[in-house]
Amino acid sequence: MSPFLTPPRRALALGAIAVALAAACVALAIGGCAGGSTKANVALAPTRSAPLTTIFEAQNELSTNPGPTLDLLKRLGVDDVKVFMPWGYLAPDALSHKRPHFDAASSAAYPPGVWAMYDAIIRDAAARGVGVDLALEAPAPLWATGPGVPPGTASSFLGTWKPSAKEFGLFVTAVGKRYSGHYTPPGDTSPLPRVKFWSIWNEPNYGQQLAPQAIDNSQIEISPIYYRELLNAAWEALQQTGHTTATDTILIGEIAPRGETVPSTVFPGNFSGMVPLRFIRALYCVDQQLKPLTGTAAAERDCPTTAADSKEFPAENPGLFEASGFAYHPYPQGKVPPNIRTVEEPDYADLASTGALERTLDGAVSAYGSHVRYPLYDTEFGYITSPPVPMSLDRAISPAQAAYYSNWAEYISWRNSRIASWNQYLLADPAPGPSSFDTGLEFYGGKHKVTYDAFRMPVYLPVTAAKSGHALEVWGCVRPVHYVLPHSRAPQFASIQLQATADGPYKTVKRVQLTDIDGYFDTFVSFPSSGNVRISWSYPHGASIHSRTVPITIR
């Protein structure tokens, strides 16, 4: 979970919003914002060259009730579930500063029962054809942390202080062996399923995940050094246990979208957050012009100090140049629409700043002669809603607004072929509390928000007004069809429906055949009148389901 979801320190001016919205209409709308498209009522050519997979995070439900939770997520059409595996939660004597004597590279040497929850999730997911993204993350056991933690540091932060890359590598070795597809736990009769999807650490630009962030009055980035070392150790461990990018998906980054901005002599300091693009530049040892650092600036960040050393940098840090993709958490900024960049914050990496992230990553690897262009994996995303969070908080929006913004954000992601995944963070809101992160599709207690239907069957119209006879673009997704298409003998269709009058019936205006494995479609429709638009689809031999509704105006 990203901490930087409160309003930016510099208020977003209304004039800037208006300018950005106008630019967004030009960039995103087919046919402009005023009049709609004149194209015929035919399907658009696909704009994606690769699938947009769905990753879902429901850690609480998966840990307590994995089978039924996975049944629900499969019925929602989820491709993969992201499962956090905090190192210190499994390690023996994690609260001791003295390392216990045990073989950290063997999962059998860990305390009895610590693997049971993960084994159950991974077995149940495999049985249902759902993938598992296993995210190896903080905290470290205290015996694997470094010296010099500031006095008075909260206990919850202690496991993030200078974690040992060597010890982390041993832990990843144990995990990689256990979930290699060849390991049979004592007492079992069959091997555990293979895990083929990995994330290395979580939000390393956030001090409560990796510390310290920066030293020397916050001017020298330190957390990228520790992350580089952790990444190298985990990379080698995965390779040695048979998990390579030829067979598995291995993600790096997992960056939080915001942070404190330079110049600041106070933050990010030890435990605050570093703006992500600054973190990436230091991680790849490049300056603001994306040129390799040299001299003192390079030495201070444990980077190559000569041109000859820079040539060896990719080979010495293969995870930075050979991963399957770069993961980010492009959380939106409360009430701000998903296409609006935060003004005066060039180093953010929320959804609207994806282009800046792409340019930074591309430039950083190019500085060393690499031509890799990383797919971007959205691995944490969601809107905090009110209720239950008080509407007075700028970080919360109504469930209806969240449904609209979420569908809009997914459309933006789908249109960008570099983005490889769409994510929903949380199934149900956590128990009420002063700092609840209420991004679930359900309220605490299980009642559905409108975001539930919006996730299951998103719909978005870039333009909602047109002259009579002119077509509007209708983009959508029937997510559950992901598990229907491979087994269905009959073609699957989404019905685009219009309700012409209040309380009147919905009538199908167009049926769109679903051929994309993840259920996406993009088409033009000429509507006969104003009204409310929705998508409808029926599970085979099951209930009919609907999207949210979108009001349109036909003049």
CA 527 to chain centre: 35
Structure confidence at residue 335 as a pLDDT band (50, 70, 90): confident
Is residue 373 assigned to a domain?
yes
Averaged pLDDT for residues 29-37: 35
C-alpha dihedral (242, 243, 246, 249), degrees to nearest 10 = 170
CA distances from 320 to 16, 161, 309, 364 (A): 36, 22, 16, 10
Please give the pLDDT value at position 393. Answer: 76
495 pLDDT more than 70: yes
Distance CA 332, CA 319 (A): 28
Q: What is the pLDDT of residues 202-219, one digit of tens each?
A: 999 999 999 999 999 999
36 pLDDT more than 60: no
Is residue 200 assigned to a domain?
yes
SS3 state of residue 382: coil
Q: What is the mean pLDDT of the chain?
A: 91
Distance CA 42, CA 311 (A): 52
The pTM (predicted TM-score) of the whole model is: 0.92
265 pLDDT more than 60: yes
426 pLDDT more than 50: yes
What are the backbone dihedrals phi and psi of residue 135, each rounded to the nearest 5 degrees, phi first? -100, 110
Q: Which domain holds residue 317?
A: 46-456
Residue 295 is part of a domain; what is its CATH number?
A: 3.20.20.80
Is residue 234 assigned to a domain?
yes
Structure confidence at residue 44 as a pLDDT band (50, 70, 90): low
Distance CA 161, CA 147 (A): 8
C-alpha dihedral (137, 258, 379, 384), degrees to nearest 10 = 110
User: Exposed/middle/buried for 207, CB within 10 Å: 0-12, 13-18, 19+?
Assistant: buried
Is residue 554 assigned to a domain?
no
Please give the pLDDT value at position 305. Answer: 96
462 pLDDT more than 90: yes
Structure confidence at residue 12 as a pLDDT band (50, 70, 90): very low
Lowest mean pLDDT segment, chosen from 34-38, 206-210, 369-373, 519-523 = 34-38
Residue 420's CB is within 10 A of a number of other CB atoms, namely 25
Structure confidence at residue 6 as a pLDDT band (50, 70, 90): very low
Q: ω before 268 within 30° of 0 (cis)? A: yes
Q: ω before 141 within 30° of 0 (cis)? A: no
Identify which of 207, 259, 257 has the alpha carbon closest to the alpha carbon of residue 380.
257
Quote helix, strand, coil % in the chain, to nearest 5. 30, 20, 50
Is residue 249 assigned to a domain?
yes
Please give the pLDDT value at position 10. Answer: 27
CA 528 to chain centre: 39
5 pLDDT more than 70: no
Is residue 268 assigned to a domain?
yes
CA 328 to chain centre: 5
Residue 184 is classified by DSSP as -
Averaged pLDDT for residues 34-43: 41
Structure confidence at residue 19 as a pLDDT band (50, 70, 90): very low
249 pLDDT more than 50: yes
Averaged pLDDT for residues 380-405: 92
Is residue 7 assigned to a domain?
no
Q: What is the pLDDT of residues 509-528, one digit of tens each?
A: 999 999 999 999 999 999 99
Place of tokens 């699957």: 492
Q: Are 283 and 228 in contact (CB under 8 A)?
A: yes
Averaged pLDDT for residues 298-322: 97
Lowest mean pLDDT segment, chosen from 24-33, 63-72, 278-287 = 24-33
Q: What is the pLDDT of residues 217-247, one digit of tens each?
A: 999 999 999 999 999 999 999 999 999 999 9
Close Cβ partners of 400 (under 8 Å, ≥ 6 residues apart): 450, 548
Please give the pLDDT value at position 266. Answer: 86
28 pLDDT more than 90: no
CA distances from 204 to 149, 186, 397 (A): 17, 35, 28
Distance CA 321, CA 171 (A): 23
Mutual orientation of helices 276-283 and 223-240 as an angle, nearest 10°?
Answer: 60
551 pLDDT more than 50: yes
Please give the pLDDT value at position 386. Answer: 93
Lowest mean pLDDT segment, chosen from 18-22, 344-348, 462-466 = 18-22
For strand 131-137 and strand 80-86, is the pairing parallel, antiparallel, or unpaired? parallel
Q: What is the CA radius of gyration of the chain?
A: 24
Place of tokens 């691995």: 379
- The more confident residue out of 119 and 36 is 119
411 pLDDT more than 80: yes
* Distance between start and end Cα atoms, the chain: 45
The total number of structural domains that make up the chain: 1
Residue 350 is classified by DSSP as S
Q: What percent of the chain has pLDDT over 70?
A: 91
Q: Are 473 and 496 in contact (CB under 8 A)?
A: no
21 pLDDT more than 70: no
Structure confidence at residue 333 as a pLDDT band (50, 70, 90): confident
